[in-house]
Amino acid sequence: MLEDDDPYLMRLRRVALAFPDAEEQIAHGRPGFRAKKYFAWYGGSIKGSADDRIRYDRALIVLPDDADRAALAEDKRFFEPAYLAPSGWIGIDLAAGGTTAPQDVDWQEVAELLDASYRQVAGVRRVARLNGDGGPAGPSEPSEPSG
């Protein structure tokens, strides 16, 4: 299921692992990025029977800021990932159904999605380090972490 040299995953790794204390761990056959708790997953699908389930092997699954959730849900590139959507997670198909090459992905947008998700789970000290460093998404308004 996972190709370690997947060009989307390779670029995603560079961004995700630049967050304070971020590490990659394989769980459920997919790479996840965590800093104490998971803040992103690579790959997913929508829930459904085997006949109507849509797989997104080159997707990023994140936990967006509540203020952004409605706008992201209206964007056709985003989907509700199986099992994680009820907890607020959302996915974006990086390959856009095979029409977007890795070099054409908006990696700044990806960094911003990762930043928002990281801030939701990373804890006060890690978020303070992120604010001090600026992080992969660049300068950002500090937000209150949940844990």
Give the count of alpha carbons within 13 A of 2, CB side only.
15
Residue 145 pLDDT class (50, 70, 90 cuts): very low
The model's pTM: 0.88
Q: Is the pLDDT of residue 141 over 50?
A: no
- pLDDT value at position 142? 42
Give pLDDT tens digits for 10-58.
999 999 999 999 999 998 889 999 998 999 999 988 876 767 778 888 9
Residue 79: strand pairing partners: 91
Residue 139 pLDDT class (50, 70, 90 cuts): low
* For the chain, percent of residues with pLDDT exceeding 90: 64
- pLDDT value at position 21? 96
Measured CA to CA, the distance from residue 32 to residue 25 in angstroms comes to 5
Residue 23: strand pairing partners: 34
Report angle CA 30, 28, 69 to the nearest 5 degrees. Answer: 65
Q: Is the pLDDT of residue 146 over 50?
A: no
- pLDDT value at position 26? 93
- pLDDT value at position 90? 96
Residue 96 pLDDT class (50, 70, 90 cuts): confident
